[in-house]
Each structure stands twice: as C-alpha cells, then as structure tokens.
Amino acid sequence: MARQFTVYPAIDVLAGRVVRLRQGRREQVTVEGGDPAAAAEWLVREGAEWLHLVDLDGAFEGTPDLELVRHVAAAGVPVQVGGGYRTPEHMEEALEAGAARVLVGTAALSPSFLHEVVDRFGEAVAVAVDARDGRVAVEGWTTAGALAPRELAERCAAAGVARLVVTATNRDGTLGGPDLALIELVLAAGVPVIAAGGVSTLSDLRALRALGCEGAVTGSALWLGRFALSEVVSLQA
C-alpha cells in the first residue's frame, strides 16, 4: 500500500516572530508572518495535519525555546521541531513540552549521540540533513562540514533513524524548486525522507511525492500565497 504523503507547513521563528529567510541567512528576511501561536492556529484551520517548527534563534545560539514549542503545540496537531536540539535533555524537554518529533542536525554528526537518542526516543527522532555545496551544513547552516549528505544518511540508516528531513539550503526560501537530485541521492540510503527547500508550486510537491518522499515542507510558497493548504489535500491521500 502506498505511504501517505504529508505536507508540513513551516513556522520559522526568529526573535519571537514568524519569518522566512533566504538560504537561512538571518539578515535576509523575505516574509514576516507575525505571532507563532496565531500562525499555528491559522494553519490548523486551513487544514494542516502537521506543523514544521524551526526555532531559528535556537539554531543560531544552540539553546532552544521550550515556551515556543508549547505555544505552537497548543494548536492541536503534531509538531516536528528543530533548531538547537543538541543534547538528549533538550530533546526530552521538547517532547514534554508537546512536540511529537524532534529534529537533530549538528549533533547527529556524532555516531554515539545518534545511537543514544534513537535508542531513547525512537520514532520521535528525525535527522536534519542540511546540504550545501555537496556537504552537510551545521551550526545553524553557518558552516559546511566534511560529511556528504549521502554519507550522513547511511549513518542514520545504520543507527535506525526513522526519517530524514533533507534541505537544499541554497534553495530554501528562494522558490527556486526542490533539488531533486539531492533528494534522490539521499533516498537511496533507504530511510524515509521529508524534503525541504525551494518548493514553489503544487507541481513541485507532486514531483517529490513521485520520487518517493514521505512528505515535504513548504514555507515561502504558502506564506506568499502561491497555493493554499486546501489545494494539497488531494496530494496527501
């Protein structure tokens, strides 16, 4: 039976406000979306089945905001949250605050950490594979590491990670279309993938579904009215 394809509306939060950044650069705000809790409630009214919450301050500083998680989770649908989750303690606190799934990025480069959190939290762990120039970007996308995205995906497969959230950072916030070659490369590791970065149209979402992705994150396209959540219902069947 075909796996359901899920669209994850993005709520990226910087200094307490919903924003969209071009290529993850904090000085390049392209959308200002207001209060995170109000945004979450609006997205749920529009039909969101999941929310993708990114604590940008947490990503840049390494200390996530648990109150932010509580406020967004109060909207009543499952939330996957990322941004600065680099210790098991912070991950546990996020789950206790209402998150259904926690994304780890920089910390996932440590094999011992990866095995520890998968053993401890199981399917509530997802790994963010943030790719830039053929390497995994870390520290809030400010640094390109030595690891290739496919290599990180294979490490995640070996550790039993339930899913990956794969972002082409050079496309994030650009509406330039997803990096299908990157997604296909990572999918070959055998771990379910949620694709992010560059989604601009419903056709982009269809292409990601056809490629075999479990879901996709959409941010700028949704906030700028390129399509409405009501239009993605048929894609999620």
Q: Show which residues are catalytic.
A: 12, 130
**What is the rounded CA–CA span in Å between residue 43 and residue 41?**
6
Q: Which of 217, 227, 223, 230 is CA-nearest to residue 52?
A: 217
**What is the rounded CA–CA span in Å between residue 77 and residue 98?**
10
Q: What sections of the chain are H helices per DSSP?
A: 36-45, 56-61, 66-73, 88-96, 111-121, 149-159, 180-187, 202-211, 220-223
Q: How many CB atoms lie within 10 A of CB 190?
A: 11
Q: Are 165 and 127 in contact (CB under 8 A)?
A: yes
Residues β-bridged to residue 54: 12, 82
Residues β-bridged to residue 215: 6, 194
